[in-house]
Structure 1
Amino acid sequence: MAPLQEQHQLVDFGQKSLLVSAAAIAFNPTFWNIVARREYRTRFMTKAFGGNSQTACYALAATIFSLGLCRDFFYERALRHQPSHPLLETQSIKFIAYALIAAGNTLVITSTYALGITGTFLGDYFGILMDDMVTGFPFNVCDAPMYYGSTMSFLGTALLYGKPAGILLTGWVLVVYLVALQYENPFTAGIYEKRNALKASGKTSEDKKEL
Protein backbone atom coordinates (compact mmCIF):
# COMPACT_ATOMS: atom_id res chain seq x y z
CA MET A 1 0.00 0.00 0.00
CA ALA A 2 2.93 2.37 0.62
CA PRO A 3 3.75 2.82 -3.10
CA LEU A 4 0.07 3.56 -3.81
CA GLN A 5 -0.04 6.16 -1.04
CA GLU A 6 3.12 7.81 -2.35
CA GLN A 7 1.67 7.84 -5.84
CA HIS A 8 -1.35 9.87 -4.67
CA GLN A 9 0.54 12.09 -2.24
CA LEU A 10 0.11 15.76 -3.20
CA VAL A 11 2.53 17.42 -0.80
CA ASP A 12 5.40 15.86 1.11
CA PHE A 13 5.42 17.84 4.35
CA GLY A 14 8.35 15.79 5.58
CA GLN A 15 10.74 17.57 3.23
CA LYS A 16 12.78 20.22 5.06
CA SER A 17 13.22 22.11 1.80
CA LEU A 18 9.49 22.90 1.85
CA LEU A 19 9.77 24.54 5.27
CA VAL A 20 12.95 26.37 4.27
CA SER A 21 11.19 27.77 1.21
CA ALA A 22 8.17 28.86 3.26
CA ALA A 23 10.46 30.54 5.79
CA ALA A 24 12.39 32.38 3.08
CA ILE A 25 9.14 33.60 1.53
CA ALA A 26 8.01 35.04 4.87
CA PHE A 27 11.43 36.41 5.81
CA ASN A 28 12.01 38.71 2.84
CA PRO A 29 9.14 41.23 3.22
CA THR A 30 9.51 41.06 7.00
CA PHE A 31 13.19 41.96 6.68
CA TRP A 32 12.76 44.87 4.30
CA ASN A 33 9.88 46.35 6.25
CA ILE A 34 11.79 46.23 9.54
CA VAL A 35 14.98 47.65 8.01
CA ALA A 36 13.17 50.36 6.04
CA ARG A 37 11.17 51.53 9.05
CA ARG A 38 14.28 51.66 11.19
CA GLU A 39 15.98 53.68 8.46
CA TYR A 40 13.02 56.07 8.37
CA ARG A 41 13.14 56.62 12.13
CA THR A 42 16.90 56.62 12.74
CA ARG A 43 18.58 57.07 9.32
CA PHE A 44 21.03 54.35 10.40
CA MET A 45 21.79 53.24 6.85
CA THR A 46 22.14 56.76 5.53
CA LYS A 47 24.57 57.53 8.37
CA ALA A 48 26.51 54.33 7.60
CA PHE A 49 26.98 55.58 4.03
CA GLY A 50 28.25 58.99 5.04
CA GLY A 51 24.90 60.72 4.88
CA ASN A 52 24.22 59.67 1.28
CA SER A 53 20.62 58.44 1.28
CA GLN A 54 20.77 57.51 -2.42
CA THR A 55 23.70 55.14 -1.89
CA ALA A 56 22.08 53.70 1.22
CA CYS A 57 18.88 53.01 -0.71
CA TYR A 58 20.82 51.31 -3.49
CA ALA A 59 22.56 49.15 -0.88
CA LEU A 60 19.20 48.05 0.49
CA ALA A 61 17.97 47.44 -3.06
CA ALA A 62 20.96 45.16 -3.73
CA THR A 63 20.30 43.31 -0.47
CA ILE A 64 16.60 42.83 -1.24
CA PHE A 65 17.40 41.66 -4.78
CA SER A 66 19.97 39.16 -3.46
CA LEU A 67 17.53 37.84 -0.87
CA GLY A 68 14.99 37.44 -3.67
CA LEU A 69 17.42 35.28 -5.61
CA CYS A 70 17.99 33.13 -2.52
CA ARG A 71 14.23 32.81 -1.98
CA ASP A 72 13.75 31.72 -5.61
CA PHE A 73 16.56 29.18 -5.25
CA PHE A 74 14.98 27.67 -2.14
CA TYR A 75 11.59 27.60 -3.88
CA GLU A 76 12.92 25.76 -6.92
CA ARG A 77 14.80 23.30 -4.74
CA ALA A 78 11.65 22.65 -2.70
CA LEU A 79 9.71 21.91 -5.88
CA ARG A 80 12.33 19.42 -7.04
CA HIS A 81 11.89 17.47 -3.80
CA GLN A 82 8.09 17.34 -4.06
CA PRO A 83 5.84 14.83 -5.86
CA SER A 84 4.34 15.78 -9.21
CA HIS A 85 0.73 15.28 -10.22
CA PRO A 86 -0.38 13.96 -13.64
CA LEU A 87 -3.11 16.59 -13.97
CA LEU A 88 -0.45 19.31 -13.80
CA GLU A 89 1.76 17.72 -16.44
CA THR A 90 -0.44 18.25 -19.49
CA GLN A 91 0.51 20.46 -22.41
CA SER A 92 -2.32 22.92 -21.71
CA ILE A 93 -1.07 23.42 -18.14
CA LYS A 94 2.41 24.13 -19.53
CA PHE A 95 0.98 26.87 -21.76
CA ILE A 96 -0.85 28.37 -18.77
CA ALA A 97 2.38 28.20 -16.76
CA TYR A 98 4.39 30.07 -19.40
CA ALA A 99 1.61 32.66 -19.75
CA LEU A 100 1.58 33.28 -15.99
CA ILE A 101 5.35 33.62 -15.84
CA ALA A 102 5.38 36.00 -18.81
CA ALA A 103 2.53 38.12 -17.42
CA GLY A 104 4.02 38.13 -13.92
CA ASN A 105 7.45 39.20 -15.14
CA THR A 106 5.83 41.90 -17.26
CA LEU A 107 4.14 43.36 -14.18
CA VAL A 108 7.35 43.23 -12.15
CA ILE A 109 9.62 44.68 -14.84
CA THR A 110 7.26 47.45 -15.95
CA SER A 111 6.52 48.51 -12.37
CA THR A 112 10.26 48.70 -11.67
CA TYR A 113 10.74 50.76 -14.81
CA ALA A 114 7.89 53.10 -13.87
CA LEU A 115 9.10 53.64 -10.31
CA GLY A 116 12.85 53.51 -10.82
CA ILE A 117 15.23 51.78 -8.40
CA THR A 118 14.60 54.09 -5.46
CA GLY A 119 10.86 54.11 -6.05
CA THR A 120 10.78 50.33 -6.18
CA PHE A 121 13.07 49.64 -3.25
CA LEU A 122 11.58 51.80 -0.50
CA GLY A 123 13.28 55.07 -1.34
CA ASP A 124 10.39 56.83 0.42
CA TYR A 125 11.76 55.58 3.74
CA PHE A 126 15.11 57.20 2.90
CA GLY A 127 13.48 60.56 2.22
CA ILE A 128 13.68 60.06 -1.55
CA LEU A 129 10.11 60.89 -2.49
CA MET A 130 8.46 60.85 -5.89
CA ASP A 131 6.91 64.06 -7.16
CA ASP A 132 3.68 62.44 -8.31
CA MET A 133 1.90 59.14 -7.91
CA VAL A 134 2.47 56.73 -10.79
CA THR A 135 -0.90 55.92 -12.33
CA GLY A 136 0.05 54.46 -15.72
CA PHE A 137 0.67 50.82 -16.61
CA PRO A 138 0.93 48.55 -14.69
CA PHE A 139 -0.52 50.55 -11.79
CA ASN A 140 -3.74 51.07 -13.74
CA VAL A 141 -4.13 47.28 -13.75
CA CYS A 142 -3.54 46.60 -10.04
CA ASP A 143 -2.33 48.57 -7.05
CA ALA A 144 0.65 46.31 -6.25
CA PRO A 145 1.89 44.97 -9.60
CA MET A 146 5.24 43.84 -8.25
CA TYR A 147 3.64 41.70 -5.55
CA TYR A 148 0.92 40.28 -7.76
CA GLY A 149 3.34 39.79 -10.64
CA SER A 150 5.71 37.89 -8.37
CA THR A 151 2.83 35.73 -7.13
CA MET A 152 1.88 34.92 -10.72
CA SER A 153 5.46 33.88 -11.47
CA PHE A 154 5.48 31.59 -8.43
CA LEU A 155 2.25 29.96 -9.59
CA GLY A 156 3.52 29.64 -13.15
CA THR A 157 6.68 27.93 -11.93
CA ALA A 158 4.64 25.56 -9.77
CA LEU A 159 2.53 24.55 -12.77
CA LEU A 160 5.59 24.28 -15.00
CA TYR A 161 7.10 21.78 -12.57
CA GLY A 162 3.73 20.07 -12.11
CA LYS A 163 3.98 20.31 -8.31
CA PRO A 164 0.93 20.74 -6.04
CA ALA A 165 3.34 21.85 -3.30
CA GLY A 166 4.22 24.83 -5.48
CA ILE A 167 0.56 25.86 -5.58
CA LEU A 168 0.48 25.64 -1.78
CA LEU A 169 3.61 27.78 -1.49
CA THR A 170 2.14 30.26 -3.97
CA GLY A 171 -0.85 30.65 -1.68
CA TRP A 172 1.60 31.37 1.14
CA VAL A 173 3.35 33.97 -1.03
CA LEU A 174 0.04 35.74 -1.63
CA VAL A 175 -0.85 35.72 2.08
CA VAL A 176 2.57 37.12 3.04
CA TYR A 177 2.34 39.88 0.44
CA LEU A 178 -1.21 40.83 1.43
CA VAL A 179 -0.14 41.10 5.07
CA ALA A 180 2.90 43.17 4.05
CA LEU A 181 0.65 45.56 2.11
CA GLN A 182 -1.45 46.12 5.22
CA TYR A 183 1.65 47.55 6.88
CA GLU A 184 3.36 49.19 3.91
CA ASN A 185 0.50 51.10 2.29
CA PRO A 186 -0.62 53.12 5.34
CA PHE A 187 2.97 53.84 6.38
CA THR A 188 3.98 55.02 2.91
CA ALA A 189 0.81 57.10 2.62
CA GLY A 190 1.71 58.72 5.94
CA ILE A 191 5.14 59.70 4.61
CA TYR A 192 3.60 61.51 1.65
CA GLU A 193 0.91 63.10 3.78
CA LYS A 194 3.64 64.55 5.97
CA ARG A 195 5.49 65.81 2.89
CA ASN A 196 2.33 67.43 1.54
CA ALA A 197 1.65 69.03 4.92
CA LEU A 198 5.14 70.53 4.88
CA LYS A 199 4.54 71.88 1.39
CA ALA A 200 1.22 73.36 2.41
CA SER A 201 2.85 75.06 5.38
CA GLY A 202 5.34 76.71 3.03
CA LYS A 203 8.45 75.09 4.45
CA THR A 204 11.55 74.77 2.28
CA SER A 205 13.16 71.67 0.84
CA GLU A 206 15.52 71.60 3.82
CA ASP A 207 12.59 70.67 5.98
CA LYS A 208 12.27 67.40 4.05
CA LYS A 209 14.95 66.07 6.39
CA GLU A 210 12.17 65.83 8.93
CA LEU A 211 10.55 63.16 6.80
Structure 2
Amino acid sequence: MTAMDFSKTSLWVSLASITFNPLFWNLAARQEYHTHWITKLFNGDKYRGCYAIAITIFTLGIIRDFLYKQALLEQPEWAILDNSFVRAIALLLIGSGMTFVLSSTYMLGITGTFLGDYFGILMDERVVGFPFSVLDNPMYVGSALSFLGSSLWYARPAGLLITAYVWLVYTVALQFEGPFTTMIYSRRATDTKSDTKDKKANSKKKKKL
Protein backbone atom coordinates (compact mmCIF):
# COMPACT_ATOMS: atom_id res chain seq x y z
CA MET A 1 0.00 0.00 0.00
CA THR A 2 1.29 3.44 -0.98
CA ALA A 3 1.15 6.00 1.81
CA MET A 4 1.67 9.12 -0.27
CA ASP A 5 1.48 10.08 -3.93
CA PHE A 6 4.13 12.74 -4.42
CA SER A 7 3.07 13.34 -8.02
CA LYS A 8 -0.08 15.21 -6.97
CA THR A 9 0.21 18.98 -7.33
CA SER A 10 -2.39 19.44 -4.58
CA LEU A 11 0.03 17.90 -2.07
CA TRP A 12 2.76 20.44 -2.79
CA VAL A 13 0.31 23.33 -2.85
CA SER A 14 -0.95 22.26 0.57
CA LEU A 15 2.57 22.01 1.98
CA ALA A 16 3.38 25.43 0.52
CA SER A 17 0.34 26.93 2.22
CA ILE A 18 1.25 25.31 5.54
CA THR A 19 4.74 26.79 5.24
CA PHE A 20 3.63 30.22 4.06
CA ASN A 21 1.12 31.09 6.79
CA PRO A 22 3.41 31.26 9.87
CA LEU A 23 6.18 32.74 7.73
CA PHE A 24 3.83 35.51 6.61
CA TRP A 25 2.48 36.45 10.02
CA ASN A 26 5.91 36.38 11.65
CA LEU A 27 7.49 38.61 9.00
CA ALA A 28 4.50 40.97 8.81
CA ALA A 29 4.26 41.29 12.59
CA ARG A 30 7.98 41.92 13.07
CA GLN A 31 7.95 44.61 10.43
CA GLU A 32 4.94 46.14 12.15
CA TYR A 33 6.81 46.17 15.46
CA HIS A 34 9.86 47.88 13.96
CA THR A 35 8.20 50.23 11.42
CA HIS A 36 4.46 50.28 12.28
CA TRP A 37 3.75 49.84 8.57
CA ILE A 38 0.33 48.25 9.10
CA THR A 39 -0.70 50.85 11.68
CA LYS A 40 0.31 53.60 9.23
CA LEU A 41 -1.99 52.09 6.60
CA PHE A 42 -4.85 52.74 9.01
CA ASN A 43 -3.90 56.32 9.87
CA GLY A 44 -2.12 55.40 13.07
CA ASP A 45 -4.94 53.27 14.50
CA LYS A 46 -3.13 50.22 15.89
CA TYR A 47 -6.38 48.45 16.75
CA ARG A 48 -7.71 48.65 13.20
CA GLY A 49 -4.33 47.46 11.98
CA CYS A 50 -4.41 44.49 14.33
CA TYR A 51 -7.97 43.60 13.30
CA ALA A 52 -6.91 43.78 9.65
CA ILE A 53 -4.07 41.31 10.12
CA ALA A 54 -6.41 39.14 12.19
CA ILE A 55 -8.83 38.92 9.27
CA THR A 56 -5.93 38.20 6.91
CA ILE A 57 -4.53 35.41 9.08
CA PHE A 58 -7.98 33.90 9.61
CA THR A 59 -8.65 33.93 5.86
CA LEU A 60 -5.28 32.36 5.11
CA GLY A 61 -6.11 29.65 7.65
CA ILE A 62 -9.38 28.83 5.88
CA ILE A 63 -7.58 28.64 2.54
CA ARG A 64 -4.89 26.40 4.08
CA ASP A 65 -7.51 24.03 5.49
CA PHE A 66 -9.33 23.88 2.15
CA LEU A 67 -6.10 23.07 0.30
CA TYR A 68 -5.27 20.42 2.90
CA LYS A 69 -8.64 18.73 2.39
CA GLN A 70 -8.21 18.80 -1.38
CA ALA A 71 -4.75 17.27 -1.02
CA LEU A 72 -6.05 14.50 1.25
CA LEU A 73 -8.83 13.55 -1.14
CA GLU A 74 -6.30 13.04 -3.93
CA GLN A 75 -4.05 10.83 -1.81
CA PRO A 76 -4.27 7.01 -1.46
CA GLU A 77 -6.83 5.72 1.03
CA TRP A 78 -6.09 2.87 3.42
CA ALA A 79 -8.97 0.50 4.09
CA ILE A 80 -7.51 -0.34 7.50
CA LEU A 81 -8.23 3.22 8.60
CA ASP A 82 -11.75 3.24 7.17
CA ASN A 83 -13.76 2.04 10.17
CA SER A 84 -15.95 3.45 12.92
CA PHE A 85 -13.29 3.11 15.63
CA VAL A 86 -10.77 5.24 13.73
CA ARG A 87 -13.46 7.78 12.87
CA ALA A 88 -14.38 8.04 16.55
CA ILE A 89 -10.73 8.78 17.37
CA ALA A 90 -10.71 11.32 14.53
CA LEU A 91 -13.74 13.12 15.97
CA LEU A 92 -12.14 13.14 19.41
CA LEU A 93 -8.94 14.65 18.02
CA ILE A 94 -10.78 17.28 15.97
CA GLY A 95 -13.02 18.14 18.90
CA SER A 96 -10.05 18.46 21.24
CA GLY A 97 -8.17 20.55 18.72
CA MET A 98 -11.09 22.94 18.21
CA THR A 99 -11.56 23.19 21.98
CA PHE A 100 -7.95 24.27 22.44
CA VAL A 101 -8.10 26.77 19.58
CA LEU A 102 -11.45 28.34 20.49
CA SER A 103 -10.77 28.48 24.23
CA SER A 104 -7.38 30.08 23.55
CA THR A 105 -9.04 32.74 21.42
CA TYR A 106 -11.64 33.35 24.11
CA MET A 107 -9.00 33.75 26.83
CA LEU A 108 -6.71 35.98 24.77
CA GLY A 109 -9.26 37.99 22.84
CA ILE A 110 -8.80 39.05 19.22
CA THR A 111 -5.79 41.30 19.82
CA GLY A 112 -4.15 38.80 22.15
CA THR A 113 -4.65 35.99 19.65
CA PHE A 114 -3.63 37.84 16.51
CA LEU A 115 -0.30 39.46 17.35
CA GLY A 116 -1.58 42.50 19.21
CA ASP A 117 1.64 42.69 21.22
CA TYR A 118 3.54 43.50 18.01
CA PHE A 119 1.21 46.49 17.62
CA GLY A 120 1.86 47.67 21.15
CA ILE A 121 -1.42 46.24 22.43
CA LEU A 122 -0.07 44.36 25.43
CA MET A 123 -1.91 42.26 27.96
CA ASP A 124 -1.85 43.37 31.60
CA GLU A 125 -0.81 39.95 32.87
CA ARG A 126 -0.02 36.43 31.73
CA VAL A 127 -3.05 34.26 30.93
CA VAL A 128 -2.92 31.14 33.11
CA GLY A 129 -6.45 29.73 32.83
CA PHE A 130 -7.51 26.83 30.61
CA PRO A 131 -6.18 25.89 28.10
CA PHE A 132 -2.95 27.66 29.10
CA SER A 133 -3.08 25.83 32.41
CA VAL A 134 -2.41 22.53 30.59
CA LEU A 135 -0.46 23.61 27.48
CA ASP A 136 2.07 26.32 26.70
CA ASN A 137 0.96 26.69 23.08
CA PRO A 138 -2.64 25.40 22.91
CA MET A 139 -3.46 27.05 19.59
CA TYR A 140 -0.62 25.31 17.78
CA VAL A 141 -1.34 22.01 19.52
CA GLY A 142 -5.04 22.36 18.73
CA SER A 143 -4.36 23.06 15.07
CA ALA A 144 -2.05 20.04 14.79
CA LEU A 145 -4.67 17.81 16.44
CA SER A 146 -7.24 18.97 13.91
CA PHE A 147 -4.89 18.11 11.05
CA LEU A 148 -4.30 14.69 12.56
CA GLY A 149 -8.00 14.07 13.14
CA SER A 150 -8.84 15.01 9.56
CA SER A 151 -6.25 12.61 8.16
CA LEU A 152 -7.83 9.77 10.14
CA TRP A 153 -11.38 10.80 9.25
CA TYR A 154 -10.58 10.59 5.54
CA ALA A 155 -8.46 7.43 6.08
CA ARG A 156 -5.47 9.00 4.34
CA PRO A 157 -2.08 8.02 5.77
CA ALA A 158 -0.55 10.91 3.81
CA GLY A 159 -2.30 13.17 6.28
CA LEU A 160 -0.21 11.71 9.09
CA LEU A 161 2.97 12.75 7.30
CA ILE A 162 1.53 16.19 6.52
CA THR A 163 0.56 16.58 10.18
CA ALA A 164 4.15 15.80 11.17
CA TYR A 165 5.27 18.54 8.80
CA VAL A 166 2.72 20.94 10.31
CA TRP A 167 4.17 20.30 13.76
CA LEU A 168 7.71 20.83 12.44
CA VAL A 169 6.71 24.19 10.92
CA TYR A 170 5.01 25.26 14.15
CA THR A 171 8.02 24.21 16.21
CA VAL A 172 10.31 26.33 14.05
CA ALA A 173 7.89 29.26 14.21
CA LEU A 174 7.84 29.08 18.01
CA GLN A 175 11.63 29.41 18.09
CA PHE A 176 11.17 32.87 16.59
CA GLU A 177 7.89 33.93 18.18
CA GLY A 178 8.63 32.96 21.78
CA PRO A 179 11.86 34.93 22.32
CA PHE A 180 10.53 37.94 20.40
CA THR A 181 7.35 38.13 22.47
CA THR A 182 9.40 37.77 25.65
CA MET A 183 11.56 40.67 24.48
CA ILE A 184 8.50 42.87 23.90
CA TYR A 185 7.18 42.33 27.42
CA SER A 186 10.65 42.62 28.98
CA ARG A 187 11.11 45.96 27.26
CA ARG A 188 7.76 47.15 28.60
CA ALA A 189 8.78 46.11 32.11
CA THR A 190 12.06 48.01 31.76
CA ASP A 191 10.29 51.12 30.43
CA THR A 192 7.78 50.95 33.27
CA LYS A 193 10.54 50.81 35.86
CA SER A 194 12.29 53.76 34.24
CA ASP A 195 9.08 55.79 34.24
CA THR A 196 8.52 54.95 37.90
CA LYS A 197 12.05 56.04 38.83
CA ASP A 198 11.64 59.29 36.88
CA LYS A 199 8.35 60.05 38.63
CA LYS A 200 9.89 59.40 42.04
CA ALA A 201 12.87 61.59 41.19
CA ASN A 202 10.62 64.42 40.02
CA SER A 203 8.50 64.05 43.15
CA LYS A 204 11.58 64.41 45.38
CA LYS A 205 12.67 67.51 43.50
CA LYS A 206 9.28 69.11 43.97
CA LYS A 207 9.35 68.38 47.72
CA LYS A 208 12.78 70.01 48.02
CA LEU A 209 11.52 73.08 46.21
Q: Which TM-score tier does this pair reach, normalised by the shorter chain?
A: over 0.9
Matched residues in 2 for 1:120 and 1:37: separation? 15
Aligned length: 197
Find the aligned partners of 2:164 and 2:182 in 1 and give their Cα distance. 27
Which TM-score applies when normalising by structure 2? 0.93
CA distance in structure 2 between the partners assigned to 1:121 and 1:165 by the alignment: 30
Measure how far apart 1:203 and its partner are.
5.6
Mapped to 2, the partners of 1:90 and 1:200 lie a distance apart of: 60
Listed as ranges, the gaps of 5+ residues in structure 2 are: 198-209
Offset at residue 53 of structure 1 (A): 0.1
State the structure with more CA Rg: 2
Question: Partners in 2 of 1:87 and 1:198 — Cα distance?
Answer: 59
Q: 1:127-170 deviations in whole A, cap 9, x for unaligned?
A: 00000000110001110000000000000000000001111110
3-state secondary structure, aligned to 1:184: helix
Provide TM-score, normalisation by structure 1.
Answer: 0.92
Name the SS for the 1:202 alignment partner: helix
Partner of 1:141: 134
**Alignment RMSD:** 1.0
Q: Please report how far the alpha carbon of residue 90 of structure 1 lies from its aligned counterpart in structure 2 after TM superposition.
A: 1.7
Distance in 2 (alpha carbons) for counterparts of 1:69 and 1:50: 28
Which residue number corresponds to residue 176 of structure 1?
A: 169
Aligned: 1:78 with 2:101: no
Q: Deviations over 1:155-195 (max 9, x none)?
A: 00000000011111100100000000000000000000000
Please name the residue that 1:202 is paired with: 195
2:67 corresponds to 1:38: no
Alignment match, 1:151: 144
Q: Please give the residue correspondences for 1:48-127 in structure 2 after superposition, counting only pairs within 5 Å.
A: 48-127=41-120
- Deviation sequence 1:93-130 (CA, Å, 0-9, x none): 10000000000000000000000000000000000000
